[in-house]
Chains A and B, each alone.
Chain A
Amino acid sequence: MKIHRRHFLAALGASGAWLGLDSNRKAQANAGENPLRARAENGEPLRFIGVYTPHGRAHELWAPGPNFDLSYDNAILAPFDDPSRFGKSYRSKLLVLDGIDLSAGIAVGTTGHDGPRVILTGSGADGKTPSIDQYLAVEKGLGAETLHTSVVLGVGNDGSEIGANVSYSRGATPVPKLIDPEATYAELFGAPLGAKREELDRERRLGKSVLDRVRADLSSLEARAPASEKVKLEQHATALREIEKRLAGVPASCALPLRPDKSMFPKLRAYGGGEPYFQAITELQIDLLARAMACDLTRFATLFLADLTRSKLFPGLPEDIHGDVAHRYDARTDRHSGTPASWLALATQNRNTTSHVARLLHKLDEAGVLDETIVYASGDMGDPARHSSRHVPALVAGGCGGRFKLGRYVDLRGTGTRKDYGVPNNRVLVSICQAFGVDENRFGDSADAGLLTGRLEELYA
């Protein structure tokens, strides 16, 4: 995948923005090149939310039953078909993909707990491709028109290690996550520049003045810097554009959500006492994200869900979900009958995860944006006891703008080059690119180009 300078400039919204030209004028001039803008004129723009789900899945209770049955006893996907909770079923908004492998990661050993690195990048630890949210929003400029080019959220862990991030900017640096709902609120809806109109206006003028100086410095630095350093400076310019966009403030038409009540989550971090609050934090992050999408503050987001180890959320399960549930999962295979009690234990945890994803759909639905959103939720492992990054649980959900045929179970296990191989997640990523009108037939980095190429035909029919 090549990244053209034009795309970077489109990401800025204005090629002249950091050269001191009038950014609005330039943005208008560029509008013809922007596929998203073209679509926006014809109707609702398409949105993307990537979700990381932990702890693999108990396949026995994850795969849908005959006729796409999601509500059999102990089914992990039951929350998607739960009218008693949501007033309707989201079964028809869900595509269940079985047999997705994180192949580019597996090829270089980026698997298991490092698997999150691969989910949205289609690349191993040594790859340079950005994650698809950043690729579309920043590189392709599709996030340029909203106040936030993209939003990256997490629960419980704001670390920068590859096992804790799904969003990566170009050059493969992880995009920092917001894990504090209060910070998410301030970032998305807050008025940190001052609540009063005149104060806000003044701050806008001052902020613009600071940015002009900073851009001038960046330009002269760019003139002196060798080619090897340009990517860094382009990234910096993109960041300045983000600061500038924020100066505009949240439009008055946006109905603000309630400010999160800090007492609901006195602690935030895993291993720092935050675990008991992860459920509340997750719900708040989802609420805020759905509202941001509703107000069109952003069209691209990712959410890194927490490993619920030590959360004590599940009375019937051991406290150490990681060690005592996920590691003890004993799958049924062709030659081994497995341990049903271990499936039930893992399914309890898994269902908590799918319940959050189903609630995300519900909130997007309430916000009126579900039909034009692609939610891609994926785990880093299939069988968590084996730490295997094959056959990871992958869900494509939302209305997806009508691009994909939903309400189905697609089983791709064993369709790869070996009996126990599935298909690379890269194909899903290529299909998502194409859904956004980006003409790419390849996504990710690998020495084995075959892993990267082609869309996933099964998404369409």
Chain B
Amino acid sequence: MRQVLGALLGTALGALGVLGCAAAPPKSAVDTGIELSSEARRLPARLRRLTNLEVEQSLGDLLGKPERVAAELPPEVRQEGFTPNAAQDVPATWAVRYSALVRTLARRATEERLAELAPCPEGAGCGELAVDELGPRAFRRPLTESERKLLLAAYEAGSAEGGGARGGLELLLRALLESPNFLYLTELGEGGKPNEIVTLSPYEVASSLSYTLRGAPPDRELYDAANTGELSSPERRAFHARRLLGMNETRTQFQRFVLEWLEVDHLDRTAKSAELFPSYEQLKPRMLDETRAFVDEVMVHAGGSVRALLSSGFASVDPSMARFYGLSTYGPRAQLSGSGRLGILQQASFLAAHAHEDVSSPVKRGDFVLRKLMCQKITRPAEIGIEVVMPPPSNAKTTRERFGAHSSDKGCFACHETLDAIGFTFESFDAMGARREKEHGHPVVTSARAKLGGQELELSDSVDLAQKLAESPAVSECFARHAFRYFSAEHDPAVEASFLSICERLPVESRDNLFEALIAYVRSDLFVEREVRSK
């Protein structure tokens, strides 16, 4: 696989943007669906609770108005740093708060927009109409007869409590929004005993497609496609995937993926020493804006690849960040040449998130590169019986000198040799990501020799590192794995291998394009088949 992926990533992309834009991606050369061998691992038949953001999108969609929900809910449990994941459940605290929120929103929506929400004002048959209109949209599939009866009973109960049509609709909305059929993305298929493979229903396919690519419920067109049965065709799935990838919410979805992968989405919850970095609080939101805008440029408009993320020669900066970087221009594609920066690893958001409050952290930066770009498991010191002693703070030594203990201690050196070497290449950036030539009056040294993916590399600095990573097949494979973990919301190396085998079958010129990889996934059996697992 590595060889194939090597070829995959060896593809010269040339200038960025050659892959076209999301609205008109290149037509894939693969015409039929992608079958999997019977041994290949599938995703499990499962229920995935929507993320807080997906709940917000879905709720806003049903109520016909964006509502602030995600920030009001307890935070998600993450897997590998990703919010979309199948481990998400409904804890009591979450449910109680969500229920209270729904109560308020349903009341407000029916008070403010009854005419828009209710299919008819009042009278016989209006309850049925409301249930038939809103029910399938909330559950993202047709209602069963018993569901229909129960929902109608909710409408009537609300109406009978003196609320009339408004009260009926309010209680109907509450029953819909609190239902597990709304809160979970179901990928169960039909029937299926343990260890059997099942195929998703057309409506499940529609929902999976939409939440995977947009983080939002299916639109009318996709729902209708499920209805007519056309989604069993790989071609039609690919058609809708391309259509969805051209929609605006796709931006948010890809931004979130990169921010969570880069471990910078919590930047607003970090602080730096106010004494050493007085501008940090003010620049923090700008740093995140920059990374988001950069993701738009590289991923959304250009189909995206890890190569482009790592080695794009421009920044997407406003005047304040341009000043911080010492650039003479600003805008979505401000040239970085001469700035000592390149791609996403030299962005302030990454550098600040992977640093301490007062000093840079070669360990954190090196650790990120190994875990998230090389997919290496890092042994924690305690696992091999080492109790960590932090290098004492010092104003006389550079950070690199302070971490010297790692190379003088045999026990530490085994792991830190590579970890620190990679981290040292970033030493020309301080704890908030500003360029520096010196630390405490001493020149910083960024050159290092590191063993990476079985190769001994001489690195002059982190720009050099980024360029080498961008060319590495291992990095490309690792990035594909992480992308799959996010977009499939599952973390299972065996299923990832199935995904990688699908990527291999793409035409060489498309393999580096995340959009194309996702479309290939959508076309494949991997997207529509599930394994029934007993535990």
Q: Which of A176, A213, A226, A328 has the most CB of B within 10 A?
A: A226
Q: In the complex, which of the residues B46, B146, B380 contacts A111, with contact meaning CB atoms closer than 8 Å?
A: B380
CA distance A133 to B194 in the complex (A): 34
CA distance A242 to B93 in the complex (A): 9
- B95 contacts A388, CB within 8 Å? no
Q: In the complex, which of the residues B181, B188, B532 contacts A217, with contact meaning CB atoms closer than 8 Å?
A: B181
- B534 contacts A227, CB within 8 Å? yes
Q: Which parts of A189-228 form the interface with B (CB within 8 Å)?
A: 192, 202, 205-206, 209-210, 212-214, 216-218, 220-221, 224-228
Residue-wise, chain A 163-203 has the 8 Å CB interface mask toward B (1 for contact) of 00000010101111110000000010000100000000010
Q: In the complex, which of the residues B178, B194, B357, B535 contacts A323, with contact meaning CB atoms closer than 8 Å?
A: B357
Q: Which of A35-43, A70-78, A152-160, A359-367 contacts B (4 or more CB under 8 A)?
A: A152-160
Of all chain B residues, the one with the shortest Cβ separation from A272 is B269
Interface residue? A289 (CB, 8 A) = no
Q: Which of A107, A220, A228 has the most CB of B within 10 A?
A: A228
Contact flag A176-B75 (CB < 8 Å), given A226-B533, A235-B90: yes
CA distance A270 to B154 in the complex (A): 43
- What B residues does A159 contact at CB under 8 A? 75, 266, 269
CA distance A375 to B357 in the complex (A): 34
Of all chain A residues, the one with the shortest Cβ separation from B379 is A109
- B47 contacts A221, CB within 8 Å? yes
- What A residues does B93 contact at CB under 8 A? 152, 175-176, 178
Q: Which of B113-121, B294-302, B303-311, B389-397 contacts A (4 or more CB under 8 A)?
A: B389-397
Of all chain A residues, the one with the shortest Cβ separation from B183 is A236
Residue-wise, chain B 51-78 has the 8 Å CB interface mask toward A (1 for contact) of 0000000000000000000000011111
Contact flag A214-B356 (CB < 8 Å), given A176-B93, A320-B273, A386-B388: no
- B180 contacts A236, CB within 8 Å? yes
- A173 contacts B161, CB within 8 Å? no
- A387 contacts B154, CB within 8 Å? no
Of all chain A residues, the one with the shortest Cβ separation from B104 is A192
- B383 contacts A109, CB within 8 Å? yes
Contact flag A210-B188 (CB < 8 Å), given A152-B93, A174-B77, A176-B91: no
- What B residues does A161 contact at CB under 8 A? 78
Interface residue? B87 (CB, 8 A) = yes
Interface residue? A413 (CB, 8 A) = no
CA distance A269 to B71 in the complex (A): 14
Residue-wise, chain B 135-157 has the 8 Å CB interface mask toward A (1 for contact) of 00000000010110011011001
- B92 contacts A239, CB within 8 Å? yes
Q: Which of B91, B188, B358 has the most CB of A within 10 A?
A: B91
Number of interface residues of A (CB under 8 A): 72
Interface residue? B419 (CB, 8 A) = no
CA distance A389 to B386 in the complex (A): 11
Q: In the complex, which of the residues A178, A209, A228 contacts B171, with contact meaning CB atoms closer than 8 Å?
A: A209
Of all chain A residues, the one with the shortest Cβ separation from B94 is A176
- B535 contacts A227, CB within 8 Å? yes
- What B residues does A238 contact at CB under 8 A? 92
- B179 contacts A217, CB within 8 Å? yes
Interface residue? B271 (CB, 8 A) = yes
- B154 contacts A236, CB within 8 Å? no
- What B residues does A324 contact at CB under 8 A? 393
Contact flag A202-B161 (CB < 8 Å), given A209-B154, A246-B96, A271-B270: yes
Interface residue? A313 (CB, 8 A) = no
- What B residues does A109 contact at CB under 8 A? 379-383
Residue-wise, chain A 366-406 has the 8 Å CB interface mask toward B (1 for contact) of 00000000000000000001111110000000000000000
Q: 16 new A-B pairs (CB below 8 Å) besides A173-B88, A212-B150, A389-B382?
A: A105-B382, A109-B379, A160-B77, A171-B89, A174-B77, A210-B174, A218-B180, A225-B47, A226-B194, A227-B533, A227-B535, A228-B44, A232-B47, A270-B269, A323-B358, A387-B388
**Can you list 17 A-B pairs with a CB-CB distance of less than 8 A?**
A109-B379, A169-B91, A173-B77, A226-B188, A227-B534, A229-B46, A232-B47, A239-B90, A239-B91, A239-B95, A243-B99, A310-B271, A319-B273, A320-B358, A323-B356, A328-B393, A387-B387
A binding-site residues for B, Cβ under 8 Å: 105-112, 149, 152, 158-161, 169, 171, 173-178, 187, 192, 202, 205-206, 209-210, 212-214, 216-218, 220-221, 224-229, 231-233, 235-236, 238-240, 242-243, 246, 269-272, 310, 319-320, 322-324, 327-328, 385-390
B binding-site residues for A, Cβ under 8 Å: 44-47, 49, 74-78, 87-96, 99-100, 144, 146-147, 150-151, 153-154, 157-158, 161-162, 171, 174-175, 178-181, 184, 186, 188, 192, 194, 266, 268-271, 273, 356-358, 379-383, 387-390, 392-393, 532-535
